[in-house]
């Protein structure tokens, strides 16, 4: 065998290290942007950097945060799920109804999460097995599931009498309320899954090139279905937590939430065409959205103008990302 | 004669990699100028500079003595430079005529003049001698016909400099002949032609001069004179002499390991049966479109066969998915890098470990990062994959190195039967030698290898036995002793 001295190892290592440092820096660009934003808001917006406000801010992003963790997987797969907001409403209504009728909080919570997972399974089956474009498939389930939420609740909010139910959302631990803790756990689980599990790598591979992944023997259909089920279950859980905080299951809640979730992911550098996602990016994306929203409320920016700001931030983030990748 | 195209002192830097290092090149009008070199030698980068996609750090480009400033692709096209790339840039959903005139469609006040478009397209196709319907969708054409369209596009823009990037790599014998004919015609018209290739016989047949690059540097220019000296060319390309690239090693064969029984499916005109033994290297030769890739896809579960059975080590295979095929011990390393082979945005390590990481995972879920890194390192070393690190995105690698990454992925799997579709396409001579050595190692370890190849020298050089396909049927089973190039070609050509 002829050894080729000029082949594999001839490229200077120092160059690689320099590049990896550079890529680390540019990869954390959005994190740095967030830190600057946070410092600026703390300095300039009265009452922003107070324990009470930060607690409230975190609680307010916990809904989007949970769902963004799994939306990251859906987007990494090269798909999208528009039905999450409807699932939030539906799962909340189901949880409230079951809790009231069965007089059991455990059953109610389980029913809410399962209802979400069931919708996810349906989405996954339609997208993966029948190869329907996920934008269309979940647009349909978005409508269907919203309808189911209204039908289950007969159109009105379902008020929960069980004290155990609203204690979930109200109780706190080490100064942070339970929904925030759950959000942290969700981020931890899905961050681990993305980076340290075979499943997570497989999702990124399928999003990057589905045919290559199939030929390499990955169970592409199954993985697609599992991702949608996880998305449904987590959206269901988020819906239950929201219902618990409001102590009612509201079929009209969270309209448009899916766009907020997708925006947060895109802000965090998740590729809409699949194959690229980082958990740190998504967390920061969620926090940026939350901070800006919170600061605008503190500054009494009129609601109409808040829309402009949110849209502008999303556009700027994507432009920044584009520029960084050049 | 004054050169039509001059590149002077051109350098290009990609991150830590110096892709071109003060390179110069002169091409005369009416000349076919060969450009040779191993993968990563800088040929593709040079074409990118010519096409205006990459702006060089130093140096300049002159056309007929006039310095040019290419800052985007459009500038190069307007200056009369056209590149015919390996991966053709056509829109499969549009018609032949629309593709030909893309960007220059005849219109009046913005309204497309369809008749004029068809007329011009038809005239151009006639000039090329291609009997293609200008209304046909490009997606329905063969690769050879698409290449002709690319040439037609260049001529419609009256390109004076044409650069071909390994144009014959996916052409059939007949299409190659037609292309050769057209290129000679272009030369006679006084156009300057750059011809990038790995194939010696094409250099002999077409080129007037050859420039050799190595590691981003200009090595030498050879004049044709009485003919090119093969050894001199190879030596210039790899910096040393290689006698026998293939290094055939004979070995004892075991019992039958792969048995295919009357398999039928899309792309096959007749049922195919074949057997291959443990430790055997079977070549599968045929022209493009003979059904070799289709057969390979049936064997590894990528396409479901209509009928027939496949047995690996006497176990009948569930042929419904590549997943089950791999679990039963047979896998296909696909040919099409970008579509079927690579996750381009993912790292070298991720691509190598794509399939095999499940074996090392704890509880089937938890990745074993250490083992993955070791697997990636092992194959980067074994196959001499040129990459700054295992974590580099595979899209930053040159074509040949990408091919090696695909190969590594399947070599790292635990399987008995390898189906390799054009395993050395686009891989340079030095690295090829290493791949062949590895294939012999695998055979000696009792694996069965089915190697699809359009390269006659390769098939006859490494296979113990050659199967020949023609028009969707298996037409020959030739042992190594009898596998002369003449015999194989005779079997493969339509009567």
Q: How confident is the model at residue B378 (pLDDT cuts 50, 70, 90)?
A: very high
With beta carbons less than 8 A apart as the criterion, state whether B406 and A33 touch: no
Give the pairing type, strands B217-223 and B17-27: unpaired
**Token pair belonging to A13:** 């290592």
With beta carbons less than 8 A apart as the criterion, state whether B169 and B425 touch: yes
The answer to whether B340 faces chain A, any CB pair under 8 Å, is: yes
pLDDT score of A3: 38
* Residue A100 pLDDT greater than 50, yes or no: yes
Which of the residue ranges A199-203, B196-200, B338-342 would you say has the lowest mean pLDDT? B196-200
* Residue A306 pLDDT greater than 50, yes or no: yes
* Residue B422 pLDDT greater than 50, yes or no: yes
With beta carbons less than 8 A apart as the criterion, state whether B26 and B6 touch: yes
Q: How confident is the model at residue B240 (pLDDT cuts 50, 70, 90)?
A: low
pLDDT score of B349: 94
Q: How far apart are CA B114 and CA A238, in angstroms?
A: 56
pLDDT score of A87: 97
The answer to whether A205 faces chain B, any CB pair under 8 Å, is: yes
Q: How far apart are CA A24 and CA A137, in angstroms?
A: 37
Q: How far apart are CA B442 and CA A34, in angstroms?
A: 52
Q: How far is the CA of B361 from the CAs of B91, B353, B368, B393, B404, in angstroms?
A: 42, 11, 5, 23, 24
Residue B16: list chain A partners with CB under 8 A: 11-12, 15-16, 18-19
**Token pair belonging to B42:** 């800088």
* Residue B98 pLDDT greater than 80, yes or no: yes
Measure in Å the smallest separation between the Cα of B345 and chain A Cα atoms.
Answer: 7
Residue A218: list chain B partners with CB under 8 A: 323, 354-355
The proportion of chain A whose per-residue pLDDT surpasses 90, expressed as a percent, equals 67
Helix (H, G, I), strand (E, B) or coil at B84: strand
Q: Which tops the pLDDT comparison, B400 or A252?
A: A252
Q: How confident is the model at residue A326 (pLDDT cuts 50, 70, 90)?
A: low
Q: What is the pLDDT of residues A182-221, one digit of tens each?
A: 999 999 999 999 999 999 999 999 999 998 899 888 999 9
Helix (H, G, I), strand (E, B) or coil at B1: coil
* Residue B383 pLDDT greater than 50, yes or no: yes
Q: How many CB pairs under 8 A join A and B?
A: 128
Q: How confident is the model at residue B1 (pLDDT cuts 50, 70, 90)?
A: low
The answer to whether B318 faces chain A, any CB pair under 8 Å, is: no
**Mean pLDDT value of segment B232-248:** 73
The answer to whether B266 faces chain A, any CB pair under 8 Å, is: no
The answer to whether B41 faces chain A, any CB pair under 8 Å, is: no
**Mean pLDDT value of segment B310-331:** 87
pLDDT score of A283: 96
**Token pair belonging to B394:** 């595979």
Q: Say yes or no for a CB contact (<8 Å) between A211 and B339.
A: yes
Supply angle C-alpha B430, B433, B437, rounded to 5: 150
pLDDT score of B157: 83
Q: Which tops the pLDDT comparison, A206 or B490?
A: A206
Which of the residue ranges A60-69, A161-170, B24-33, B339-348 would you say has the lowest mean pLDDT? A161-170
DSSP string, B141-207: S-HHHHHHHHHHHHHHTT-SEEEEESTTTT--HHHHHHHHHHHHHHHHTT-EEEEE-S-HHHHHHH-
Which has the closest alpha carbon to A224: A5, A78, A55?
A78
Q: How confident is the model at residue B284 (pLDDT cuts 50, 70, 90)?
A: very high
Cβ-Cβ contacts under 8 Å for B330 (sequence gap 6 or more): B258, B299, B300, B310, B312, B317, B415, B416, B417, B418, B419
Measure in Å the smallest separation between the Cα of B316 and chain A Cα atoms.
Answer: 18
Residue A7: list chain B partners with CB under 8 A: 384, 386, 430-431
Give the other-Cβ count within 10 Å of B370's Cβ: 9
**Interface residue of A128, A216, A218, A273 to substitute, partner B, most B CBs within 10 Å:** A216
With beta carbons less than 8 A apart as the criterion, state whether A30 and B409 touch: no
**Mean pLDDT value of segment A294-320:** 88
**Token pair belonging to A176:** 């942070």
Measure in Å the smallest separation between the Cα of A224 and chain B Cα atoms.
Answer: 15
By CA distance, what is B246's nearest residue in A? A1
Supply angle C-alpha A222, A226, A231, rounded to 5: 150
Q: How far apart are CA B199 and CA B143, in angstroms?
A: 19
| Crossing angle of the two packed helices A178-196 and A220-246, in degrees rounded to 10 | 170
Q: How far apart are CA A161 and CA A104, in angstroms?
A: 11
Q: Which of A16, A201, A208 sits opposite B345 (nearest CB)?
A: A208
* Mean pLDDT computed over every residue of chain A: 88
Cβ-Cβ contacts under 8 Å for A312 (sequence gap 6 or more): none
Work out the burial of residue A314: count CB atoms within 10 Å of its CB; fewer than 13 is exposed, 13-18 middle, 19 or more buried: buried
Q: How confident is the model at residue B16 (pLDDT cuts 50, 70, 90)?
A: low
Q: How confident is the model at residue B411 (pLDDT cuts 50, 70, 90)?
A: confident
Q: How far apart are CA A309 and CA B75, in angstroms?
A: 39
* Residue B148 pLDDT greater than 90, yes or no: no
* Overall size of chain A counted in residues: 326
By CA distance, what is B369's nearest residue in A? A196
pLDDT score of A10: 35
- Locate tokens 């089920």: which residue? A229
With beta carbons less than 8 A apart as the criterion, state whether A241 and A182 touch: yes
Measure in Å the smallest separation between the Cα of B153 and chain A Cα atoms.
Answer: 29
**Mean pLDDT value of segment A51-72:** 94
Three-state secondary structure of chain A: CCCCCCCHHHCCHHHHHHHHHHHHHHHCHHHHHHHHHHHHHHHHCCCCCCHHHHHHHHHHHHHHHHHHHHHHHHHHCCCCCCCHHHHHHHHHHHHHHHHHHHCCHHHHHHHHHHHHHHHHHHHHHHHHHCCCCHHHHHHHHHHHHHHHHHHHHCCCCEECCCHHHHHHHHCEECCEEHHHHHHHHHHHHHHHHHHHEHHHHHHHHHHHCHHHHHHCCCCHHHHHHHHHHHHHHHHHHHHHHHHHHHCEECCCCCCCHHHHHHHHHHHCCCCCCCCCCCHHHHHHHHHHHHHHHHHHHHCCCCHHHHHHHHHHHHHHHHHHHHHHHC
The answer to whether A232 faces chain B, any CB pair under 8 Å, is: no
pLDDT score of B155: 84
Residue B246: list chain A partners with CB under 8 A: none
Q: Which of A16, A198, A275 sits opposite B367 (nearest CB)?
A: A198
**Hey, which residues 185-244 in chain B have their CB within 8 Å of chain A?**
215, 238-240, 242
Question: Tell me, what's the ipTM?
Answer: 0.78
Please give the radius of gyration of chain B, using alpha carbons only, rounded to the nearest integer. 24
The answer to whether A43 faces chain B, any CB pair under 8 Å, is: no
**Mean pLDDT value of segment B104-120:** 82
Measure in Å the smallest separation between the Cα of B82 and chain A Cα atoms.
Answer: 25
Which has the closest alpha carbon to B418: B281, B286, B267?
B281
Work out the burial of residue B250: count CB atoms within 10 Å of its CB; fewer than 13 is exposed, 13-18 middle, 19 or more buried: exposed
**Interface residue of A212, A214, A270 to substitute, partner B, most B CBs within 10 Å:** A212
Q: Say yes or no for a CB contact (<8 Å) between B322 and A12.
A: no
**Mean pLDDT value of segment A294-322:** 87
pLDDT score of B242: 52
Q: Kindly state the helix (H) or strand (E) to which residue B322 belongs, with its residue range.
A: helix B322-327
pLDDT score of A324: 65
Backbone angles phi and psi of B121, in degrees to 5 = -65, -45
**Hey, which residues 408-427 in chain B have their CB within 8 Å of chain A?**
409, 413
Measure in Å the smallest separation between the Cα of A92 and chain B Cα atoms.
Answer: 31
- Locate tokens 């026998």: which residue? B244
Q: Which of B239, B342, B389 sits opposite A209 (nearest CB)?
A: B342
Q: How far apart are CA B142 and CA B121, in angstroms?
A: 18
* Mean pLDDT computed over every residue of chain B: 87
Burial B415-428 (b: 16+ CB within 10 A, else e): bbbbbbbbbbbbbb
Residue A204: list chain B partners with CB under 8 A: 343, 346, 350
The answer to whether B381 faces chain A, any CB pair under 8 Å, is: yes
Q: How far apart are CA A88 and CA A250, in angstroms?
A: 9
Q: Say yes or no for a CB contact (<8 Å) between A15 and B340.
A: no
Cβ-Cβ contacts under 8 Å for A73 (sequence gap 6 or more): A190, A193, A194, A200, A203, A227, A230, A231, A277
Q: Which of B16, B342, B343 sits opposite A19 (nearest CB)?
A: B16
């Amino acid at each position: 065998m002829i050894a080729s001295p000029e082949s594999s190892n001839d490229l200077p290592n120092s160059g690689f290290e320099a590049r990896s440092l550079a890529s680390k820096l540019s990869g954390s660009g959005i994190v740095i942007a967030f830190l600057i934003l946070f410092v600026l808001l703390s300095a300039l917006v009265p009452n922003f950097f107070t324990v009470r406000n930060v607690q409230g801010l975190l609680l307010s992003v916990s809904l989007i945060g949970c769902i963004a963790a799994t939306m990251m997987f859906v987007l990494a797969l090269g798909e999208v799920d528009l039905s999450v907001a409807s699932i939030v409403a539906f799962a909340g209504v189901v949880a409230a109804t079951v809790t009231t009728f069965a007089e059991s909080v455990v059953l109610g919570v389980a029913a809410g999460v399962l209802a979400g997972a069931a919708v996810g399974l349906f989405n996954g089956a339609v997208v993966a097995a029948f190869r329907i474009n996920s934008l269309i498939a979940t647009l349909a389930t978005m409508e269907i599931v919203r309808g189911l939420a209204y039908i289950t609740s007969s159109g009105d909010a379902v008020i929960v009498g069980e004290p155990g139910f609203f204690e979930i959302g109200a109780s706190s631990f080490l100064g942070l309320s339970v929904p925030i803790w759950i959000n942290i756990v969700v981020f931890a689980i899905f961050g681990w899954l993305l980076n340290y599990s075979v499943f997570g790598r497989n999702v990124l591979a399928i999003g990057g090139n589905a045919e290559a992944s199939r030929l390499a023997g990955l169970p592409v259909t199954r993985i697609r279905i599992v991702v949608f089920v996880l998305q449904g279950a987590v959206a269901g859980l988020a819906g239950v937590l929201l219902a618990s905080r409001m102590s009612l299951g509201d079929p009209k809640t969270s309209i448009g939430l899916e766009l907020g979730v997708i925006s947060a992911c895109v802000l965090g550098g998740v590729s809409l065409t699949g194959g690229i996602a980082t958990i740190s990016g998504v967390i920061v994306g969620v926090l940026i959205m939350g901070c800006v929203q919170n600061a605008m409320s503190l500054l009494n920016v009129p609601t109409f103008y808040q829309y402009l700001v949110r849209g502008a931030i999303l556009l700027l983030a994507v432009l920044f990302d584009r520029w960084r990748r050049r | 004669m004054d050169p039509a195209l001059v590149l002077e002192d051109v350098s290009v830097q990609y991150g830590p990699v110096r892709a071109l290092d003060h390179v110069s090149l002169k091409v005369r009008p009416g000349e076919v100028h060969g450009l040779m070199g191993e993968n990563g030698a800088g040929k593709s980068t040079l074409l990118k500079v010519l096409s205006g996609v990459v702006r060089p750090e130093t140096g300049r480009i002159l056309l007929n003595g006039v310095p040019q400033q290419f800052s985007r692709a459009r500038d190069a096209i307007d200056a009369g430079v056209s590149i015919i790339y390996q991966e053709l840039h056509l829109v499969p959903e549009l018609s032949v005529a629309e593709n030909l005139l893309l960007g220059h469609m005849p219109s009046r006040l913005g309204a497309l003049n369809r008749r004029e478009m068809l007329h011009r397209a038809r005239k151009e196709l006639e000039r090329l001698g291609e009997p293609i319907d200008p209304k046909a969708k490009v997606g329905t054409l063969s690769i050879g016909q698409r290449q002709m369209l690319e040439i037609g596009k260049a001529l419609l823009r009256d390109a004076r400099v044409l650069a071909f990037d390994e144009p014959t790599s996916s052409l059939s014998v007949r299409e190659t002949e037609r292309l050769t004919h057209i290129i000679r015609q272009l030369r006679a018209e006084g156009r300057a032609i750059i011809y990038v290739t790995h194939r010696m016989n094409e250099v002999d047949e077409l080129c007037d001069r050859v420039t050799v690059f190595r590691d981003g540097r200009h090595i030498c220019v050879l004049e044709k004179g009485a003919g090119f000296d093969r050894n001199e060319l190879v030596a210039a390309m790899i910096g040393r002499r290689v006698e026998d690239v293939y290094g055939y090693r004979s070995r004892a064969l075991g019992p039958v390991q792969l048995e295919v029984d009357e398999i039928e499916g899309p792309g096959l005109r007749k049922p195919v049966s074949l057997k291959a033994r443990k430790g055997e290297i079977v070549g599968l030769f045929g022209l493009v479109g003979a059904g070799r890739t289709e057969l390979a896809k049936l064997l590894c579960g990528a396409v479901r066969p209509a009928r027939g059975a496949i047995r690996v080590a006497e176990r009948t295979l569930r042929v419904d998915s590549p997943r089950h095929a791999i679990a039963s011990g047979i896998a296909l390393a696909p040919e099409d890098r970008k579509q079927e082979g690579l996750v381009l945005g993912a790292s070298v390590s991720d691509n190598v470990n794509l399939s095999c990481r499940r074996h090392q995972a704890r509880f089937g879920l938890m990745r074993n990062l250490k083992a993955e890194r070791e697997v990636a390192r092992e194959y980067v070393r074994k196959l001499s994959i040129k990459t700054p690190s295992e974590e580099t995105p595979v899209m930053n690698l040159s074509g040949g190195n990408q091919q090696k990454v695909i190969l590594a992925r399947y070599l790292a799997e635990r399987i008995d039967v390898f189906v390799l579709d054009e395993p050395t396409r686009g891989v340079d001579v030095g690295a090829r030698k290493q791949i062949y050595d590895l294939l012999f190692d695998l055979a000696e370890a009792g694996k069965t290898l089915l190697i699809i190849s359009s390269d006659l020298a390769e098939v006859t050089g490494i296979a113990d036995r050659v199967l020949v396909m023609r028009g969707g049927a298996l037409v020959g089973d030739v042992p190594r002793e009898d596998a002369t190039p003449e015999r194989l070609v005779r079997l493969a050509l339509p009567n």
